[in-house]
Amino acid sequence: MSRLIDLSKPIRYNAQDPWFMRVKIKHKPHQKARWLIRLLGLPFRLFPPRFIGWADDTIQSMGVHATTHLDAPWHYAPEVAGQPAKTIDQIPLDWCYGDGVVVDMSHKADFDPITAADVQQALQQTNVSLKPGMIVLIRTGRARFNGQKNFAEVGTGMSAEATRWLIEQGIKVMGIDQWGWDLPLPYMIKQAKLRGDQNLFWEGHLVGQEHEYCHMEQLVNLESLPTTGFKVCVFPLKIVGASAAPARVVAILDDPTVTE
Protein backbone atom coordinates (compact mmCIF):
# COMPACT_ATOMS: atom_id res chain seq x y z
CA MET A 1 0.00 0.00 0.00
CA SER A 2 1.03 3.60 -0.51
CA ARG A 3 0.61 6.72 1.56
CA LEU A 4 -0.36 10.01 -0.08
CA ILE A 5 0.78 13.42 1.16
CA ASP A 6 -0.90 16.52 -0.22
CA LEU A 7 1.64 19.19 -1.14
CA SER A 8 -0.98 21.73 -2.28
CA LYS A 9 -2.46 24.57 -0.26
CA PRO A 10 -6.26 24.97 -0.09
CA ILE A 11 -7.83 27.21 -2.72
CA ARG A 12 -9.90 29.80 -0.86
CA TYR A 13 -10.21 33.52 -0.27
CA ASN A 14 -6.73 34.70 0.68
CA ALA A 15 -7.20 38.18 2.09
CA GLN A 16 -3.58 38.48 3.24
CA ASP A 17 -2.03 37.89 -0.19
CA PRO A 18 -1.10 40.81 -2.47
CA TRP A 19 -4.15 42.32 -4.13
CA PHE A 20 -3.21 40.97 -7.56
CA MET A 21 -3.09 37.40 -6.21
CA ARG A 22 -6.37 37.20 -4.32
CA VAL A 23 -8.84 34.39 -4.87
CA LYS A 24 -12.57 35.10 -4.81
CA ILE A 25 -15.05 32.22 -4.83
CA LYS A 26 -18.83 32.47 -4.60
CA HIS A 27 -20.55 29.46 -3.05
CA LYS A 28 -24.17 28.95 -4.14
CA PRO A 29 -26.47 27.00 -1.79
CA HIS A 30 -28.62 24.07 -2.93
CA GLN A 31 -31.87 26.03 -2.77
CA LYS A 32 -30.84 28.43 -5.54
CA ALA A 33 -30.79 25.62 -8.10
CA ARG A 34 -34.48 24.90 -7.45
CA TRP A 35 -35.45 28.16 -9.13
CA LEU A 36 -33.08 27.59 -12.04
CA ILE A 37 -34.64 24.19 -12.68
CA ARG A 38 -38.11 25.73 -12.44
CA LEU A 39 -37.19 28.40 -14.98
CA LEU A 40 -35.90 25.67 -17.29
CA GLY A 41 -39.41 24.22 -17.31
CA LEU A 42 -39.67 21.51 -14.64
CA PRO A 43 -42.65 22.16 -12.29
CA PHE A 44 -41.97 21.95 -8.56
CA ARG A 45 -44.48 19.09 -8.29
CA LEU A 46 -42.22 16.94 -10.50
CA PHE A 47 -39.07 17.52 -8.49
CA PRO A 48 -37.70 14.26 -7.03
CA PRO A 49 -38.70 13.64 -3.38
CA ARG A 50 -36.32 15.25 -0.86
CA PHE A 51 -34.57 17.08 -3.71
CA ILE A 52 -33.32 20.40 -2.35
CA GLY A 53 -31.34 21.41 -5.43
CA TRP A 54 -27.68 21.20 -6.30
CA ALA A 55 -24.89 23.18 -4.74
CA ASP A 56 -22.73 25.18 -7.11
CA ASP A 57 -19.69 27.43 -6.92
CA THR A 58 -18.17 30.11 -9.11
CA ILE A 59 -14.54 31.17 -9.14
CA GLN A 60 -15.02 34.90 -9.60
CA SER A 61 -11.34 35.76 -9.56
CA MET A 62 -8.22 33.61 -9.37
CA GLY A 63 -4.94 34.25 -11.10
CA VAL A 64 -3.16 31.13 -12.31
CA HIS A 65 -0.26 32.00 -9.99
CA ALA A 66 -2.45 32.67 -6.94
CA THR A 67 -2.13 29.32 -5.18
CA THR A 68 -0.01 26.16 -5.46
CA HIS A 69 0.79 26.11 -9.16
CA LEU A 70 3.16 25.04 -11.90
CA ASP A 71 4.82 27.72 -14.01
CA ALA A 72 5.27 26.97 -17.70
CA PRO A 73 8.25 28.19 -19.77
CA TRP A 74 5.90 30.77 -21.36
CA HIS A 75 5.76 32.50 -17.96
CA TYR A 76 9.44 33.40 -18.12
CA ALA A 77 9.63 34.60 -21.73
CA PRO A 78 7.98 34.06 -25.15
CA GLU A 79 11.00 32.09 -26.34
CA VAL A 80 13.46 29.61 -24.84
CA ALA A 81 16.84 29.57 -26.57
CA GLY A 82 15.22 31.03 -29.69
CA GLN A 83 12.33 28.54 -29.81
CA PRO A 84 8.67 29.22 -28.88
CA ALA A 85 8.14 28.66 -25.17
CA LYS A 86 5.62 26.04 -24.07
CA THR A 87 2.38 27.16 -22.44
CA ILE A 88 0.97 25.11 -19.58
CA ASP A 89 -1.25 22.97 -21.82
CA GLN A 90 1.82 22.01 -23.86
CA ILE A 91 3.82 20.62 -20.93
CA PRO A 92 4.44 16.87 -21.48
CA LEU A 93 2.69 14.81 -18.82
CA ASP A 94 5.78 12.68 -18.33
CA TRP A 95 7.51 15.77 -16.89
CA CYS A 96 4.81 15.86 -14.23
CA TYR A 97 5.40 12.49 -12.59
CA GLY A 98 8.69 11.20 -11.26
CA ASP A 99 10.93 10.32 -8.36
CA GLY A 100 10.97 13.08 -5.77
CA VAL A 101 13.91 14.58 -3.90
CA VAL A 102 13.70 17.06 -1.02
CA VAL A 103 16.60 19.51 -0.67
CA ASP A 104 16.55 21.05 2.81
CA MET A 105 17.29 24.77 2.66
CA SER A 106 15.34 25.67 5.81
CA HIS A 107 18.55 26.94 7.42
CA LYS A 108 18.87 29.73 4.85
CA ALA A 109 18.07 33.18 6.23
CA ASP A 110 15.55 35.51 4.66
CA PHE A 111 16.98 37.23 1.57
CA ASP A 112 20.03 34.92 1.47
CA PRO A 113 19.91 33.30 -2.00
CA ILE A 114 20.31 29.56 -2.46
CA THR A 115 23.45 28.86 -4.47
CA ALA A 116 24.46 25.87 -6.54
CA ALA A 117 27.01 25.04 -3.84
CA ASP A 118 24.22 25.03 -1.23
CA VAL A 119 22.23 22.50 -3.25
CA GLN A 120 25.27 20.34 -4.00
CA GLN A 121 26.29 20.28 -0.35
CA ALA A 122 22.80 19.28 0.78
CA LEU A 123 22.74 16.43 -1.74
CA GLN A 124 26.19 15.23 -0.68
CA GLN A 125 25.20 15.27 3.00
CA THR A 126 22.18 13.09 2.28
CA ASN A 127 24.07 10.88 -0.21
CA VAL A 128 21.63 11.65 -3.01
CA SER A 129 22.52 11.65 -6.70
CA LEU A 130 20.18 13.41 -9.08
CA LYS A 131 18.96 11.64 -12.20
CA PRO A 132 17.19 13.11 -15.24
CA GLY A 133 13.44 13.26 -14.79
CA MET A 134 13.50 13.60 -11.02
CA ILE A 135 11.33 16.28 -9.42
CA VAL A 136 13.32 18.38 -6.96
CA LEU A 137 11.53 20.07 -4.05
CA ILE A 138 13.30 22.89 -2.22
CA ARG A 139 12.22 23.02 1.43
CA THR A 140 12.65 26.49 2.94
CA GLY A 141 10.16 26.10 5.79
CA ARG A 142 8.41 29.33 4.73
CA ALA A 143 5.10 27.53 4.07
CA ARG A 144 4.38 28.29 7.73
CA PHE A 145 3.70 31.88 6.68
CA ASN A 146 0.84 30.85 4.38
CA GLY A 147 -2.19 32.97 5.15
CA GLN A 148 -0.13 35.66 6.88
CA LYS A 149 0.27 39.18 5.60
CA ASN A 150 4.03 38.86 5.20
CA PHE A 151 3.99 35.59 3.21
CA ALA A 152 5.20 37.29 0.01
CA GLU A 153 7.79 39.33 1.89
CA VAL A 154 9.84 36.60 3.60
CA GLY A 155 12.03 33.78 2.42
CA THR A 156 15.20 32.84 0.69
CA GLY A 157 15.12 32.15 -3.07
CA MET A 158 16.79 30.21 -5.83
CA SER A 159 19.68 31.93 -7.55
CA ALA A 160 20.19 31.72 -11.29
CA GLU A 161 23.21 29.46 -10.84
CA ALA A 162 21.34 27.01 -8.60
CA THR A 163 18.41 26.88 -11.01
CA ARG A 164 20.72 26.40 -13.97
CA TRP A 165 22.67 23.66 -12.21
CA LEU A 166 19.50 21.64 -11.52
CA ILE A 167 18.47 21.92 -15.16
CA GLU A 168 21.94 20.73 -16.22
CA GLN A 169 21.36 17.57 -14.15
CA GLY A 170 18.31 16.78 -16.28
CA ILE A 171 15.71 18.21 -13.91
CA LYS A 172 12.70 19.56 -15.84
CA VAL A 173 10.38 20.21 -12.88
CA MET A 174 11.34 21.67 -9.51
CA GLY A 175 9.44 23.44 -6.75
CA ILE A 176 9.62 25.45 -3.56
CA ASP A 177 7.51 25.88 -0.41
CA GLN A 178 7.52 29.66 -0.25
CA TRP A 179 5.62 32.40 -2.11
CA GLY A 180 7.94 32.52 -5.11
CA TRP A 181 10.93 30.82 -6.69
CA ASP A 182 13.23 33.85 -6.43
CA LEU A 183 14.02 36.05 -3.48
CA PRO A 184 10.89 37.82 -2.17
CA LEU A 185 9.45 40.17 -4.80
CA PRO A 186 9.46 43.39 -2.69
CA TYR A 187 13.07 42.72 -1.67
CA MET A 188 14.23 42.17 -5.27
CA ILE A 189 12.62 45.42 -6.38
CA LYS A 190 14.16 47.34 -3.50
CA GLN A 191 17.67 45.96 -4.07
CA ALA A 192 17.56 46.53 -7.83
CA LYS A 193 16.65 50.18 -7.25
CA LEU A 194 19.24 50.67 -4.51
CA ARG A 195 22.08 49.17 -6.53
CA GLY A 196 20.99 50.22 -9.99
CA ASP A 197 21.64 46.64 -11.13
CA GLN A 198 19.48 45.12 -13.87
CA ASN A 199 20.59 41.59 -12.96
CA LEU A 200 19.10 41.53 -9.46
CA PHE A 201 15.47 41.03 -10.45
CA TRP A 202 13.89 37.61 -11.15
CA GLU A 203 17.19 35.90 -11.88
CA GLY A 204 15.95 32.38 -11.14
CA HIS A 205 12.90 32.73 -13.36
CA LEU A 206 14.92 34.24 -16.20
CA VAL A 207 17.07 31.14 -16.53
CA GLY A 208 13.98 29.97 -18.41
CA GLN A 209 14.98 32.24 -21.29
CA GLU A 210 17.98 29.97 -21.89
CA HIS A 211 16.85 26.54 -20.68
CA GLU A 212 13.44 24.88 -20.74
CA TYR A 213 12.11 24.03 -17.30
CA CYS A 214 9.10 24.42 -15.01
CA HIS A 215 8.87 25.24 -11.34
CA MET A 216 6.19 25.01 -8.68
CA GLU A 217 5.56 27.68 -6.08
CA GLN A 218 3.66 27.73 -2.77
CA LEU A 219 4.04 24.05 -1.95
CA VAL A 220 3.17 22.85 1.56
CA ASN A 221 4.00 19.87 3.81
CA LEU A 222 7.53 19.30 2.51
CA GLU A 223 8.61 18.71 6.11
CA SER A 224 6.45 15.56 6.06
CA LEU A 225 8.54 13.98 3.30
CA PRO A 226 11.75 11.94 3.47
CA THR A 227 14.68 13.09 1.39
CA THR A 228 14.04 10.41 -1.25
CA GLY A 229 11.98 7.28 -1.76
CA PHE A 230 8.75 8.78 -3.04
CA LYS A 231 7.03 9.77 -6.26
CA VAL A 232 5.62 13.21 -7.06
CA CYS A 233 2.54 13.93 -9.18
CA VAL A 234 2.20 17.49 -10.48
CA PHE A 235 -0.83 17.70 -12.74
CA PRO A 236 -1.77 21.30 -13.64
CA LEU A 237 -5.13 22.32 -15.07
CA LYS A 238 -5.02 22.20 -18.88
CA ILE A 239 -5.62 25.90 -19.53
CA VAL A 240 -4.94 26.60 -23.20
CA GLY A 241 -2.34 29.29 -23.75
CA ALA A 242 -1.73 29.95 -20.04
CA SER A 243 1.56 30.81 -18.35
CA ALA A 244 0.78 28.57 -15.36
CA ALA A 245 -2.03 26.63 -13.76
CA PRO A 246 -3.13 25.59 -10.29
CA ALA A 247 -1.96 22.04 -9.60
CA ARG A 248 -2.85 19.34 -7.11
CA VAL A 249 0.64 18.24 -6.14
CA VAL A 250 0.82 14.91 -4.32
CA ALA A 251 3.68 12.80 -2.96
CA ILE A 252 3.27 9.01 -3.07
CA LEU A 253 5.23 7.05 -0.49
CA ASP A 254 5.52 3.30 -0.11
CA ASP A 255 4.40 2.81 3.47
CA PRO A 256 5.41 -0.55 5.01
CA THR A 257 3.20 0.20 8.04
CA VAL A 258 0.05 0.10 5.88
CA THR A 259 -1.32 -3.32 4.97
CA GLU A 260 -4.12 -4.29 2.64
Q: How far is the first Cα of the chain from the last one, in angstroms, to the nearest whole number?
A: 7
Phi first, then psi, for residue 83 (nearest 5°) are -110, 150
- Enumerate domains of the chain plus CATH numbers: 24-61 (no CATH), 69-254 (3.50.30.50)
Q: What is the pLDDT of residues 217-235, one digit of tens each?
A: 999 999 999 999 999 999 9
* Beta carbons of 108 and 118 less than 8 angstroms apart: yes
Q: With 70 as the cut, is the pLDDT of residue 258 above it? A: no
Taking the whole predicted model, whether its pTM rises above 0.75 is answered as yes
- In percent, how much of the chain has pLDDT > 90? 83
Q: Provide the pairing of β-strand 214-217 with 173-176.
A: parallel
Which residue type, as a one-letter code, is found at position 166?
A: L
pLDDT digits (tens, 9 = 90+) for 133-179: 999 999 999 999 999 999 999 999 999 999 999 999 999 999 999 99
* CA dihedral sign, ordered 240, 241, 242, 245: positive
Report the DSSP beta bridge partners of residue 84: 79
Distance CA(21)–CA(187), nearest Å, equals 18
pLDDT for the residue 78:
98
Which of 180, 102, 179 lies closest to 134, judged by CA? 102
CA distances from 127 to 103, 130, 167 (A): 11, 10, 19
> What's the chain's average pLDDT?
94
For residue 256, what pLDDT is reported?
A: 60
